[in-house]
Amino acid sequence: MNADTDYKNNDPANLPGDFTERMKLQLGNDYGSFISSYTLPYTKALRINTQKVLPVDITRMSRIFTGSENPETVDWCTSGYYYGNHEPGKSVLHDLGAYYIQEASAMLPVTLLDINDSGQKVLDLCAAPGGKTTQIADLMNGRGLLVANEVIPSRAAILSENIERMGVTNALVINEEPAALSARFGGYFDRILVDAPCSGEGMFRKHPEASQQWSLDNVKMCANRQDMILDRAADMLNDGGRIVYSTCTFSPEEDEGSIERFLLHHPDFAVEKMHRIYPHTHRGEGHFAAVLTKIMGSESLNNSSDSSAKTKSKDSSRLPKIPRERLTLLNDFLESTLSSGCKYRQQVTDDPGLLLAFGESIYLAPEIMPDISGLKVLRAGLKLGSFKKMRFEPDHALSHALLFEDALCAVDLDADSEEAKKYITGLTLSCDASVKGWCLVCVEHLGLGWGKASSGVIKNHYPRGLRR
């Protein structure tokens, strides 16, 4: 889409009259600047994955991500960068999860959630497609437990793919209603993000067609639904914990209204801060975020000790046990394929109790592992691979968690090389005739996928569904 098309589609005259009238009342003298912003192209941004891209590499790699060696940074997110007429989604660095294309104002809520790598228990309750989940994961640095939940099955599958692409290793991806989760996780989490389904008024510049779906009835329906979701989030927060509620809309029935109604019913919570990004005040499309903290020592009306007791200790959830012969196959694979310094190889060697079996598949569980029995779980930590008869085959997810130095046999390709393009279309690569067995295919030293080397050829194991 070029700037001319953006301008035509974003003619403010096409916005619903009820919406513009409400914004006039809400913004007063600022309305003129607000509505003029609709004649400008929407802002484009991406967030780099600091687990993969080190500060020292940013200048070199940002030319590939953004088309500029000195891209402008997003004020409120240190890993966020703006880009212009560039298509970062086309680079193989996108396929391997070096960055996530994310609207700049959508980077705000996670920065308010107070995430660190001390081993927190974090829930992202409305998580698909995963922009904010992967932002949280970046700050958790593989520690603790990140539960990413999405209620719509097809969206949960996309969430799971994005978590795999970004190389996240400590996430449980779950597909449940908030009520089903709160029945299991009463008073469990330290941090909860409620990036609520909303009327989406902040998306009208990027997706002008979305404005045609807008109605006052829908605003009210979204506000009611947010009340329900926030109540369930409150059930799941522990004492002293923090909820960040966010939307990409401007409507006061949602946003401030949802917070006001929540505080009426939850006297054990306090609102710490509220932020709003408008397209005329900041370089972003629009977001609202509020920080809710649970007062220490408060007795939550909704936290029944019964429900939290259902969260079992980690060992009881790691059933069924891996049969000895399968453990041997896995260890043989790890020793012949991964270097002794690779942390995943070390973790399996040091504590086989971290392994989880689902049918033929085997996962390395997050370091904190709750009871997930009976829940619809799409992913439980890092999928190491699957057993096929008497063989172990590594999973694509494992390749995205690895770096060049983690593998005993690895090839490294340049991001804009013909070889890298060949690999993601599914073609074979050539190698030294002496190389044999599983080989990690990397770009810029970051794992992109697997190949199997034999007689001078690396057979392509890049998943068919991801080839292009």
Binding site for ligand SAM (CB under 6 A): 106, 126-132, 150-152, 155, 178, 195, 197, 225, 229
CB of 28 to ligand SAM, least distance (A): 28
Active-site residue identified among 77, 198, 222, 248: 248
Dihedral (CA of 55, 59, 64, 69) sign: positive
Q: Which whole-number Å values give the CA distances from 83 to 6, 38, 42, 59, 76, in the listed order?
A: 16, 19, 11, 14, 16
Helix, coil or strand: residue 319: coil
CB of 244 to ligand SAM, least distance (A): 11
CB of 227 to ligand SAM, least distance (A): 11
CB of 149 to ligand SAM, least distance (A): 7
Contact 468, 439 (CB under 8 A): no
409 is catalytic: no
Residue 286, token pair as written in the block: 């629009």
Query: Which residue is nearest to ligand SAM, using beta carbons?
Result: 126
Which residues share a beta bridge with 443? 413, 446
Cα angle 314, 316, 318 (rounded to 5 degrees) comes to 75
For ligand SAM, give the closer residue by CB, 287 or 345. 287
For ligand SAM, give the closer residue by CB, 152 or 309. 152
For ligand SAM, give the closer residue by CB, 10 or 247. 247
For ligand SAM, give the closer residue by CB, 112 or 364. 112
Contact 192, 125 (CB under 8 A): yes
For ligand SAM, give the closer residue by CB, 243 or 356. 243
CB of 100 to ligand SAM, least distance (A): 9
Q: In what order do the strands lie in the sheet with 382-388?
A: 355-358, 361-364, 382-388, 391-394
- d(Cα 440, Cα 262) in Å, to the nearest integer? 50
For ligand SAM, give the closer residue by CB, 100 or 188. 100
Helix, coil or strand: residue 244: strand
On the CB side of 138, CA atoms within 13 Å amount to 28
CB of 6 to ligand SAM, least distance (A): 23
Q: What is the radius of gyration, based on Cα positions, of the chain?
A: 23
Count, residues in the chain? 468
Residue 81, token pair as written in the block: 């960068």
| Residues belonging to the active site | 248
